[in-house]
Amino acid sequence: MANQSQETLEKQSSSPSSSSSSSSSVVVIVVPFHGHSHLNQLLQLSHIISSHNIPVHYLGSALHISQVKSRATHVVNQERIQFHDFPTPHFLPPLPNDTQFSSHLIHSFETSVENLREPFADLLTLLSETARKVVVIHDPLTSSIVHDSCRFPNTE
């Protein structure tokens, strides 16, 4: 997984939109929880931030990034918002249980937490080397993914 995520980071960081972030003094990383409303709200916030010419890196699984792009209410500005989609292992979630509302989502949540922490840390390492300040905006449910951000002195 480490080699695959590093290759993905290198490929995405070599795109034209990421070159603007490497010379920027402030860069934002957004890490939403993969629920529909969580993804959309943080995408809207990303648009507001990017409208001030601040580069935004939106991190998620490949499936959820694809979904949020397809449901976007306005054109996604890929010059200012860099999407980093990382593959997660395929799994068959259990059927929803009427007596336990969100029990079918637990495995999906655990899988994303286990598989996005390392790519997040790799992206943060890459961006913190070139940006004066890296701001991490995350959903409270993704706290364990962004836990490593406290190791970087230029990260808030």
**Tens of pLDDT along 133-142?**
999 999 888 8
- By annotation, the residues acting in catalysis are 38, 139
pLDDT at 2: 46
**Tens of pLDDT along 106-133?**
666 676 677 788 899 999 999 999 999 9
**Tens of pLDDT along 17-58?**
444 444 569 999 999 987 767 888 899 899 899 989 999 999
Region for residue 46 given its phi and psi (left: phi exceeds 0; alpha: psi -120 to 50; beta: otherwise): alpha
What is the C-alpha separation between 87 and 131, in angstroms, rounded? 26
Q: Using alpha carbons, list the distances in angstroms from residue 32 to 24, 35, 49, 110, 147.
A: 23, 8, 15, 14, 14
3-state secondary structure of 139: coil
CB 133 within 8 A of CB 154: yes
For the chain, domain boundaries = 1-9+33-94+114-156
Of 130, 139, 144, nearest to 27 (Cα)? 130
pLDDT at 16: 41
pLDDT-based confidence at 14, cuts 50/70/90? very low
